[in-house]
Structure 1
């Protein structure tokens, strides 16, 4: 049966990987993603695997979560055997990881270091809601080994935040950046969302200006996507809000790129800008360039050597599996070579380093030439053998990938 079934293929109770995944283990960069599925409230646009206290139900405890996550880290060590796998990047995402005490987050990080060893220059990031941290928590995170923090700002305009159901005040992200700098964080990111119903061009410019003035060294800006099943989707379906417009989103992207470039930020991935080479998010680059990672937590995805798996979603089911000594993985798929190629093209073409022209198949040569002629690819790097998107190409990246596959 094909490996890409909706529910995937079964995973052994031990979590053992197929032999194909173990080939070359240790020759590719290796990282950890740790999913913390807790939120105070659910944002109206969010379809991530997150839970408020009221939604958790019996068998799921925020207080016990760190200990449960540590058990999965130990499982990962057993599954991966004695391969030398110094961890280059760790990323705590959510949810709101900083709803856990800093000591819990550092406990999980310490377990990763104890089991695998952290590379000397390991990048360790946590996401945070600006309202969920203060100076003491930030100092504890920095002392515990975290090197980078990413704040969910989304917008500087109160009416835009209200549509998104965000719970922080507009000025708080800038304060959080200052507190993170004071705590010793050299690398700070702010996440922004554009295209929210009711947002104007001036609102977006104000959000960008506020983000830049806050002093991060990295900014991520994402077009709002209306996901089925969210409160935002329901409001749009009822006619309470208009559907985001693709042309408006394109204009907002151009505004973002111009303002960020003028402030000294350079794009290195379609939705990400950094103030310097060291400011680039190395964990995301590990994803985008085909590295290996283990995903810890309910609903987390992992990938090793072309095998991708995903954990059971509910925190109670996740904890129960580990308490029984079983892998929490729900299912997996072994990617066929053609699927790995498509994924690699899709991800690497979004980077400023681009994709090797020589590796694009002969059937796509006409589409490749057309993209170059239409100004979607930069002719300079193309002559040097790399397909690199222009600004126009970044706006049409998804369509271009479809044309080339």
Structure 2
């Protein structure tokens, strides 16, 4: 792992693998109580996590890469299943072994049904600065198709409770394009979000992942597959509503009020470094990617032996890093610098600029000009990026 840039953004991602039930569309590394068996529970997980973070700090220190985390993101799974006490303990391990930079952003995802005013109060006291709540939809029929267990009104109530507890940064996630969803369902979700006084919204089109319960239903003809034209129309509806309410997009699927951007995720999109702790978590340091064993029991056993629970790793080639920089950077509102492009794509880029899907802007202060998506270009981002990569020498 030697070779990381000590000036690069550095964060810690912590994966919590527990869920009360499995949503039909989810393919994340999560486990319900009935799937875990013995030797895999929140207590053994938290003990193992503390060991991993201690070993991670030792490894990074030996490579000259240890520095306090500028951001921490606790995701899952359902981190709020650990309760405020478990999340406080988790953050304490990060603080003790890795350290937190002054003004660090500390986020946890939470299921609205496993939160309360007391929960948010205790998180603020522990040092969390940001909460991300899984809403997905305000329409009960859509939640039923997604197999989400929370009631339609609970995410808004939870967001308000988080704000009342002193969280200045609160995100609500939504999913659009679910089979049976209507435009009115999307409008109802947006109305609910805008009533919640949040400063960040993530909106993702439904992707039917292989191996999920939803994929099996689609394959059997029990549910229709998402329609690309409908997804584009819904994206435009969401963008219009959020921008009309004072939000602006800073990444293709993310909108924020000024100052509400998620710094941790920006670190990913800008090729930063992070240590991913927990079962199945992925890391990136100095052009090396590595990931942990997936099952919580196997993870805990490795940590108990005093071993980092890393399953495999790869050093990215220059070509790999360039591809990732282009794929991630062009999704951001400010795009990428001209020097990040390689020869051969000039004609393709010029064509997209002429058609109004890409734009050049001044980099400022003598910096190279920047290439970015226009508003219409966001709807075709994946295809545009693929065409540029194919055209490059």
Q: TM-score, normalised by structure 2?
A: 0.95
- Which one of the candidate residues 138, 143, 151 is aligned to 1:161? 143
Separation in 2 of the partners of 1:67 and 1:379? Answer: 50
CA deviations on 1:294-318 (whole Å, 9 max, x unpaired) are 0001100000010000111100000
Asked whether the 8 Å contact 1:68–1:322 carries over to 2, the reply is yes
Highest RCO, 1 vs 2 (Cα 8 Å, sep ≥ 6)? 1
Asked whether the 8 Å contact 2:335–2:373 carries over to 1, the reply is yes
Give how far 1:101 is off.
2.1
CA deviations on 1:81-118 (whole Å, 9 max, x unpaired) are 16450110000000000000212212121122122321
**Counterparts of residues 84-123 of structure 1 (less than 5 Å):** 84-123=66-105
> Compared with structure 1, are the counterparts of its residues 317 and 24 closer, same or farther at alpha carbon in structure 2 (3 Å cutoff)?
closer
Asked whether the 8 Å contact 1:35–1:297 carries over to 2, the reply is yes
Give how far 1:255 is off.
0.5
Q: Which residue of structure 1 lines up, in the alignment, with residue 122 of structure 2?
A: 140
- Which one of the candidate residues 308, 324, 333 is aligned to 1:352? 333
Asked whether the 8 Å contact 2:200–2:257 carries over to 1, the reply is yes
Separation in 2 of the partners of 1:380 and 1:149? Answer: 34
Separation in 2 of the partners of 1:25 and 1:275? Answer: 31
Separation in 1 of the partners of 2:5 and 2:169? Answer: 29
Give how far 1:25 is off.
4.1
CA deviations on 1:166-188 (whole Å, 9 max, x unpaired) are 01111111110111011111100
Q: Name segments (4+ residues, structure 1) moved above 4 Å.
A: 379-384
Q: Which residue of structure 2 lines up, in the alignment, with residue 6 of structure 1?
A: none
Separation in 1 of the partners of 2:386 and 2:344? Answer: 13
Q: Which residue of structure 2 lines up, in the alignment, with residue 37 of structure 1?
A: 17
- Which one of the candidate residues 361, 367, 380 is aligned to 1:396? 380
Separation in 2 of the partners of 1:165 and 1:116? Answer: 37
Unmatched segments (≥5 aa) in structure 2: none
Separation in 2 of the partners of 1:257 and 1:285? Answer: 20
Secondary structure of 1:189's partner?
strand
Separation in 1 of the partners of 2:114 and 2:271? Answer: 33
- Which one of the candidate residues 288, 292, 296 is aligned to 1:307? 288
Q: TM-score, normalised by structure 1?
A: 0.93
Secondary structure of 1:139's partner?
helix
